[in-house]
Copies of this chain bind each other. A is one copy, B any other.
Amino acid sequence: MSNAFTDRLSGYAPLSDADVALLADACRNVRDVPAGHHMIREGDSPDPVFVMLDGWACGYKMLPDGGRQILAFMLPGDFCDIHIAVLKEMDHSIVTITPAKVATLPRKQMEALVEAKSNITHAFWWSQLVDQGVLRAWIVSMGRRTAEERIAHLMCELYIRMRNIGLATHDQCELPLTQLVLADAVGLTPVHVNRVLKGLRLNKVMELSSGALKIIDPVRLAEIAGFDGNYLHSRLIKVA
């Protein structure tokens, strides 16, 4: 009865089998969506809550000049937006990066879960806090890190998050991001992302190609990134 979502949440609060069943049941409504599918567009009024069960998505915001800034990557088990219809209007868009399985929980049901079970509320809450920590880490990267540090840091984040959900081996994981997407995430040009990746490859730190990240020198990578994974609270390291 468990899935990527219940796995993630049970890392955040002790959930009984009944709780897990409740949550899994809430996710029963699953949709298969192709890559590049918009789940939410800026300006939409958010009704159901989306949960990623498989595949990658990202939230982003467009700028008047046509630029794009990615705000977060969503992996299996992640809420896409936990807004519970609280906001009048979405201030950003969410789009899939790969083909994905997405559960849609009606707002009512989310609220019922929160009202009924305090440990589920607790898990939601914690999940929020972790997401907020990720946002803060991004701000630090964008504000004070060089291009190489930024990219190294993002790679560390994504690798650890993939590992936490059992989707990484000891030195590599899937990472289905084009250099263009990467550029939109770290606030650089695709051209410059390319050069930085080349540098990391030549220095035998890591390699990124054909949708996979291979970490060659993890110590060096973490050093470059100034990475401290605490904020991800990866307490439950479950390997599938």
Given A92-B136, A132-B131, A136-B71: A142 in contact with B87 (beta carbons within 8 A): no
A64 near B: Cβ within 8 Å? yes
Query: Are A138 and B139 interface neighbours, CB within 8 A?
Result: yes
Answer whether residue A73 sits at the interface, using C-beta atoms and an 8 A cutoff: no
Report the Cα distance A88→B187, complex, angstroms.
31
Q: In the assembled complex, how far is the CB of residue A236 from the closest CB belonging to chain B, in whole angstroms?
A: 13
Residue of B91, B125, B132, B231 near A230 (CB, 8 A) is B91
Within 8 Å by CB of A128, from B92, B128, B143, lies B128
Question: Per-residue CB proximity of A127-153 to B under 8 Å, as 1/0?
Answer: 011011101101110111100000000
Q: A83-B129, A91-B230, A132-B132 are in contact. Are A139 and B140 (CB under 8 A)?
A: no
CB distance from A89 to the nearest CB of B (A): 6
B residues near A140, Cβ cutoff 8 Å: 61, 63, 69, 71
B132 near A135: Cβ-Cβ < 8 Å: yes
| A138 to B137 Cα, complex, angstroms | 12
A51 shortest CB reach to chain B, Å:
17
In the complex with contacts A71-B140, A139-B142, A121-B132 CB distance below 8 A: no
Within the complex, the shortest CB–CB distance from A55 to chain B, in Å, comes to: 22
Interface size on A, residues (CB 8 A): 44
Chain B's closest residue to A143 (CB) is: B187
Contact A226 to B64, CB < 8 A, known contacts A69-B144, A125-B84: yes
Chain A 68-111 interface mask (CB, 8 Å, partner B; 1/0): 11010000000000111011110110000000000000000000
For the complex of A and B, list the 10 residue pairs with the smallest distance between their C-beta atoms, beginning with the closest: A143-B187, A142-B142, A135-B135, A69-B143, A91-B231, A69-B140, A69-B144, A67-B144, A71-B136, A142-B143
Q: Can you sample 19 A-B contacts with CB below 8 Å?
A: A63-B144, A63-B226, A67-B144, A68-B144, A71-B136, A82-B129, A84-B125, A86-B129, A89-B230, A91-B136, A91-B230, A114-B121, A115-B118, A121-B121, A128-B132, A131-B132, A132-B132, A135-B135, A139-B139
